[in-house]
Structure 1
């Protein structure tokens, strides 16, 4: 991952030193399991646990000759031991170590992802509560519709992130597993209990059935969840970008005192964070194709997945956490212009009461829907063309032929009508 988008907490997990230390931990946990089964003496296990070390430089030197990283790894750590070294890698194949360790690294990274998701969800919840009764013009197809609660936007995203967290939890359950089943996945050279002991010691689940590798549908599911999360992040970023346009200007990203928006136009304030989030979200989704193709391996295994996995897991976790944290920061610094939102509501001359009027007339008079609709539509066009209040247009066009008492219009033309059920939506969403 390039430094610009790397996250220190993730880099520390996926760097070569930590990866090899987890490999070593798996080897030690396996020797511990053999000890529990009385194959290795306690003294021999203690010697391995206390003295086995990994020297990366020595391992790389050996790998030049062996052209096999795990063989180089086991030989390098064996050089730090005495006669007890014979127990290193007993009954194992390379992927017992590599896949178990990789799944452990994924577990560690998932904890950071969860922290970032929870933090973002909390921010969205706070914004939703803050703006629950703040009116904004709702839009469909990019066109003004009816006023609505600004808070509902944040509540919608809060609820969506909550669903993403549930999906993520299921994906975690499926990927955070130990795989200690041997060369063909049939435990021929291992005792069945070894895997159970290692899983318990490492705080991981168990891969119920495997081949020489953990099946990559597990990894594909996790990355597909990340891609889904990315779609939510881009959705939020896109909304910010739309509201910051010059012709809208209802929302603005925070702009630091010495920040610059353009190299050539000093007046510019661009939604750069939201655009950055949009681009990185697209990059995140690009990992899915590779992840799904990795599930298709020859027979009990091949290594067509191995090369790309050395890259994609570090990258996907770095980019996901970076994007989550940047969006959270963007939302916390977001500037909402309530006066501009009210201005956009007022510039519609109350034409957005067309549906409440339509519904009221349908319920309270006998004319057909088609006649009433056409009458109201004619009044809305007149309202916008002549820039007169919609209520006045209705009166000018003789709405009295449908209403016995036109004073009822004063009751219908109540802006709080559009948020009358917002409290119920909040209660259902926050209390479920």
Structure 2
């Protein structure tokens, strides 16, 4: 993954140094378990892991020039650093994926924990802005067309609630990925199964039945969860870009004093952060398909199809999603919001956004079927849409309408406060609800 799109904490989890260190932890945990069940009596230094010097470049050189096998290269590198009496027991009865998959679970677990933390930070940023603009009216848009009023706070409350559900997904995922296997080349236990139980207990994992590898449904679940969250981040980013369009202009990303938007056009202030995230999240979403194919294409007790692609997709998706949520939190915290422009946009269609109230009133007062009232009001509304005329004024001059309703009744339909009167109820179901699934109970 390019350093440009990664934060240090997550990047370090998926570094080769950390991968090899986790391999070492598993190997040492196996040795400790063997000693506990009486297979040997040799002492295992308590600081053994810290004493082993892991040099990823040297391990990669050994693999590239000699072994053509990464785990054998790793063992070749660390074995001479072990106490002599322990070296015959190192990796005894194990297969590469006893080490690799169990260690991968440790990385996945660390990764999920960080994603939960950054999701919480993003939720906090959204909540702050949502509370500030809780009652700020904004036009709601469906199909890109003005529909009915919402508030900017409600828009963000929906985002907050969606992230709440993602945190719940990540909490479940934390359990799913916390598995290990020390069961040999085809899962038939070339060593005592008690060793697997002890190793997993030491590492905070639970033993799982496996072949040579842990089934890739777990990796697919991890990638799927990241893909769903990435799609949400992509959606948020796309909507921020839309709200920044010149024709809408309701929000803008913070633009630095010396920042330049274009080499050709000095006036440009582009939503480059949101644009960047929209594109990057496509990578995370597309990687999910690779994980599915790795699961589907596994031959018998194991084939090598998954290995190379997983080295790319798991790390890249984890690093990208972490980066994206952190960057989006910063965008939302610093973005400029323009309530005046929201009001102007609300009034742009000159009252058409209240057409549903008019239609319901006409149907009620005239006793005509709803669909006939709909057609009657629609004809007036489309005329106003095309001519740019005021909806209420045209209604008051339309005999087909005013024969059923009074002027006061018509005017009462054009009440913005009625449209947004349940904002508090919406917030109570989302932002104000501290105990909802996936929320602050975690």
Same fold? TM cut 0.5: yes
Bigger Cα displacement from structure 2, 160-169 vs 216-225: 160-169
TM-score by length of 2: 0.91
Secondary structure, counterpart of 1:407 in structure 2: helix
Bigger Cα displacement from structure 2, 29-38 vs 301-310: 301-310
Q: Which has the higher contact order (CA 8 A, sep 6+)?
A: 2
Contact 2:226 2:318 in 1 (8 A): no
Tell me, in whole angstroms, the C-alpha distance in 2 between the residues paired with 1:339 and 1:58.
Answer: 62
Name the structure 1 match of 2:52. 53
Tell me, in whole angstroms, the C-alpha distance in 1 between the residues paired with 2:50 and 2:92.
Answer: 17
Q: Map Cα deviations across residues 344-364 of structure 1 (whole Å, 9 max, x no partner).
A: 122322222211111123233
Name the structure 2 match of 1:298. 299
Residue among 132, 135, 141 paired with 1:133: 135
Tell me, in whole angstroms, the C-alpha distance in 2 between the residues paired with 1:112 and 1:215.
Answer: 24
Secondary structure, counterpart of 1:139 in structure 2: strand
Name the structure 2 match of 1:158. 160
Contact 2:126 2:333 in 1 (8 A): no
Contact 2:135 2:153 in 1 (8 A): yes
Name the structure 1 match of 2:105. 103
Secondary structure, counterpart of 2:407 in structure 1: coil
Q: Map Cα deviations across residues 123-174 of structure 1 (whole Å, 9 max, x no partner).
A: 2222222222110111111111111122121111111111222222223322
Offset at residue 51 of structure 1 (A) = 8.2
Contact 1:54 1:73 in 2 (8 A): no
RMSD (CA atoms): 2.1
Tell me, in whole angstroms, the C-alpha distance in 2 between the residues paired with 1:147 and 1:47.
Answer: 65
Q: 1:50 to 1:266 in 2, by over 3 A?
A: closer
Tell me, in whole angstroms, the C-alpha distance in 2 between the residues paired with 1:61 and 1:365.
Answer: 85
Secondary structure, counterpart of 2:268 in structure 1: coil
Structure 1 unpaired stretches of 5+:
none
Pairing 1:404-415 to 2, within 5 Å after superposition: 405-415=406-416
Tell me, in whole angstroms, the C-alpha distance in 2 between the residues paired with 1:299 and 1:386.
Answer: 69
Name the structure 2 match of 1:190. 191
Tell me, in whole angstroms, the C-alpha distance in 1 between the residues paired with 2:80 and 2:358.
Answer: 85
Offset at residue 254 of structure 1 (A) = 1.0
Tell me, in whole angstroms, the C-alpha distance in 1 between the residues paired with 2:389 and 2:46.
Answer: 90
Name the structure 1 match of 2:378. 377
Tell me, in whole angstroms, the C-alpha distance in 2 between the residues paired with 1:126 and 1:62.
Answer: 52
Tell me, in whole angstroms, the C-alpha distance in 2 between the residues paired with 1:386 and 1:182.
Answer: 77
Contact 2:134 2:153 in 1 (8 A): yes
Number of residue equivalences: 428
Q: 1:394 to 1:35 in 2, by over 3 A?
A: same
Secondary structure, counterpart of 1:181 in structure 2: coil
Within the alignment, does 1:265 sit opposite 2:271 as a pair? no
Offset at residue 237 of structure 1 (A) = 0.8
Q: 1:294 to 1:370 in 2, by over 3 A?
A: closer
Name the structure 1 match of 2:205. 204
Bigger Cα displacement from structure 2, 32-41 vs 71-80: 71-80
